[in-house]
Amino acid sequence: MSLTRRGLLVGAAAGGGLLVAWSLMPRSYDIPLEPGAGETAFGAWVKIAEDGVITIAVPQLEMGQGVTTILPQLVAMEMGADWRQIAVEPAPVSGAYPNLPLAAKWAPLWRPLIAPLSDDEDDMLLKRWAERHRFSVTADGTSLAAYERPCREAAATARALLCMAAAKRWDVPWGECRAAEGFITHEDKRLRFGALAAEAGKLTPPDPPPLLPGNPQDPGSGLSNDEPAFPRIDLPSKVDGSYLFAGDVRLPDMVYAAIRHGPLDQAALSSFEAEKAAGMKGLVGVVRGKRWLAAVAHSWWTAEKALAAMAPRFTVTEPVDSAAMIDQLDDAVRRGSPQRVAERGQGDDRMGTPNLALRYDVAPAMHGTVETAAATARYADGRLELWIATQAEERARRAAAEALDISPADVVLYPMPAGGSFDRRLDFDHAIEVALIARETGRPVQLLWSRWQDHLTLHPRPPVAAVLSAAVRDDGRIDSFRARLAAPSTDREFGARLFENATNWAAKDYAADEADPMVAAGMMPPYGIPDVAVDHVPVRIALPTGRIRGKADGYTVFFRESFIDEVARRYNREPLSYRMEMLGRDVRLAECLQRAARLGEWDGGKDRSGRGLACHCMGDDITGGRIALIARMRGSGTGMVVETMSAAVDIGRVVNRDIALQQIEGGLIFGLGLALGSATSYQNGLPSAARLSALNLPKLGDTPEIRIDLIESDAEPFDPGEIGVTVVAPAIANAIHSASGLRIRRIPLISENL
């Protein structure tokens, strides 16, 4: 279905309400936002009840980033609604909510052979694909870019219809009516939205929707002490514990499942001692998969004990081993065949023999979500109901249908919020497993992975080995710069799993030999270096890898900003002024650097100052976000700790300042975890990090003071959720060098001296 602004029609909707439908909607298309009794639906986004409650559909996974506040806020601002009357409803899987910017960014993954024909979000082929495949994936910070315009147009349409209904009653031109605080007014007359909704739903709206002038912006932007104009909708229920996550679902006659998976990779269940659990009180049954074993019981703990008693054993075809991975990456970065993925000027044609080359490494990193994988399923009469938190709803729905050999039309997915994701919920193996367990059990069942199982099965951020080299003049100016990254083609591998439902090993085979530009995202310097070359050496390793918050920028910026600092130190250049000198082409990033320097009391990064600097432009030069960070270290009884992080951030137009600050702070803390921990090694297919405590994540007492200068801007809004992640590791590494003279070129930043 292609949503256009032309030809709105009105049709009867289930539940006694009215739906403003689009003329190009197929006749078999389900109503996305079904109105209940006393409600009127306006398109796919808005319902208005007689009591004035306005319900907004949210087609993105709420995983802490505040999307269930930001999208309704756009509707409320455009519509003139009272924020206290706004309610939220997770949108069902539907072609009405295509995420076109993400479909364009990921075109090389879903249509690799003709990706150049499909990488523009205005391309009709791309739109049809996204609508037909119900592509509403939550990822890459694209929620605002994808849904700001549709939300505003839906709200403007509803506002116009309400004004028209009121004008008809008052016999005045509808263009003279105004909407504010949930009322339509004209001179001294006013009517509630709820009193007009039913009449408004029968009218034909104007084309195009009459959007308010200007762009939505937080009215408190720039005033950090103001109370938020649009407080988070999900906050009260999260505080009082009534907010329901995937693991909180309860159904009549429901049972609970625990599961055991084999080591990575290609493990197959070989044997288990079923008799050891026979007769265990509360045990309902045992379900055997090809590569897993599940126990089902009246409590999860009973199921977990049954699995421990049965002691399942697995055979492994290609066990993951860190020592082997390190050797493969080392060989590839030294002797592998590079493929050019990005270039500026003449690349490395004029470099000759570089006079500086440095090696950097990154270990696999785990997501560390608060909530492990959880899903609830009910299967009866060939129909599956699935309650799950997933960033890729339609892909999870189709994978479950394929596992049960039923039509996707017979799978109903109820979107649940996630207790953190960081791209972990782009995986949906647990959707397949719970569907099969529900079918075999014959009862509603909730599957919950233990922390160990979550760590064992996840696809971590890939390990990377990189060599950065440059031709540097005697005064420190860089004429040519080259980055050579040896890493698996992670995003191609991820794309095969997501779009083709490929196994880990099939996905790795698919991605093995072809370079992946997304692996090197963020590597291109924002500085005015004339000639730049970025190469990827694809490496097939036994470990299946995936995406994590911050994307590749989370390690490429560490490489680049550490390297720039090392150049500055070697040529006796002050790190801040050295960067400023090269930033003539990016005024916004230069301003971030200046503001961060003031906020962080930058002293030139002198020896023993304990201050380190890093900056980054995430995304493209025009629409990307900018950040600069000063990290300050201090000595403690056990080594060194991060005392303060001072960031200046330009994310363009700020729609919700409170959430933007929360996301930037959260990104900085997540980046701190990636810089100092989150890593794991593997031996015989098993990760060394079995528990959350093994990831060395920052605790409340370890969290430094965070200062943020959020710069006001009229540029297009940029998602604040990931940009903070990118600069933490290099800023800390540079601060460590300033404080101690020790240069660390590996993430996590582990040393005997720290």
- Write out residues in the chain with pLDDT < 50, as ranges: 1-29, 752-754
- Regarding whether 345 and 312 lie in a shared domain, the answer is no
- Regarding whether 386 and 521 lie in a shared domain, the answer is no
Residue 514 belongs to some domain of the structure:
yes
Closest by CA to 733, choosing from 577, 605, 626, is 605
Residue 692 belongs to some domain of the structure:
yes
- Regarding whether 159 and 255 lie in a shared domain, the answer is no
Q: Tell me what pLDDT residue 16 has.
A: 31
- Regarding whether 653 and 563 lie in a shared domain, the answer is yes
Of 396, 422, 448, the domain-final residue: 448
Report the C-alpha gap between 314 and 446 in whole angstroms. Answer: 24
Q: Tell me what pLDDT residue 587 has.
A: 95
Q: Tell me what pLDDT residue 2 has.
A: 34
Residue 294 belongs to some domain of the structure:
yes
User: Which helix (DSSP H) or strand (DSSP E) does residue 616 occupy?
Assistant: strand 611-618
Report the C-alpha gap between 710 and 706 in whole angstroms. Answer: 12
Q: Tell me what pLDDT residue 115 has.
A: 54
Closest by CA to 746, choosing from 332, 363, 486, is 363
- Regarding whether 515 and 578 lie in a shared domain, the answer is yes
Query: Mean pLDDT over all residues of the chain?
Result: 92
Per DSSP, the residues of 289-343 read -SSEEEEEESSHHHHHHHHHHH--EEEESS---HHHHHHHHHHHHHHS--EEEEE
Closest by CA to 87, choosing from 63, 61, 57, is 57
Q: Tell me what pLDDT residue 718 has.
A: 96
CB 611 within 8 A of CB 605: yes
Report the C-alpha gap between 515 and 213 in whole angstroms. Answer: 45
Residue 23 belongs to some domain of the structure:
yes
How many structural domains does the chain have? 3
- Regarding whether 534 and 397 lie in a shared domain, the answer is no
- Regarding whether 299 and 431 lie in a shared domain, the answer is yes
Q: Tell me what pLDDT residue 465 has.
A: 98
- Regarding whether 277 and 182 lie in a shared domain, the answer is no
Q: Which domain holds residue 715?
A: 322-365+461-747
- Regarding whether 339 and 307 lie in a shared domain, the answer is no
Closest by CA to 603, choosing from 735, 438, 752, is 735
Q: Tell me what pLDDT residue 202 has.
A: 96
Q: 177 CB contacts (<8 Å, ≥6 apart)?
A: 163, 166, 167, 184, 185, 186
Residue 436 belongs to some domain of the structure:
yes
Q: Tell me what pLDDT residue 606 has.
A: 76
User: Which helix (DSSP H) or strand (DSSP E) does residue 746 occupy?
Assistant: strand 746-747
- Regarding whether 546 and 425 lie in a shared domain, the answer is no
- Regarding whether 406 and 381 lie in a shared domain, the answer is yes
Q: Return the structure tokens found at 237.
A: 């229920």
Per DSSP, the residues of 55-112 read EEEE-S--SSS-HHHHHHHHHHHHHT--GGGEEEEEPPS-TTS--HHHHHHTHHHHSG
Burial (Cβ within 10 Å: 0-12, 13-18, ≥19) of residue 477: middle
Question: What's 390's domain CATH number?
Answer: 3.30.365.10
- Regarding whether 174 and 42 lie in a shared domain, the answer is yes
- The residues with which 340 forms a beta bridge, in sequence order, are 535
What single DSSP character describes residue 175?
G
Three-class SS of residue 670? Answer: helix
Q: Tell me what pLDDT residue 10 has.
A: 30
The distance of Cα 659 from the centroid of its chain, to the nearest Å, equals 15
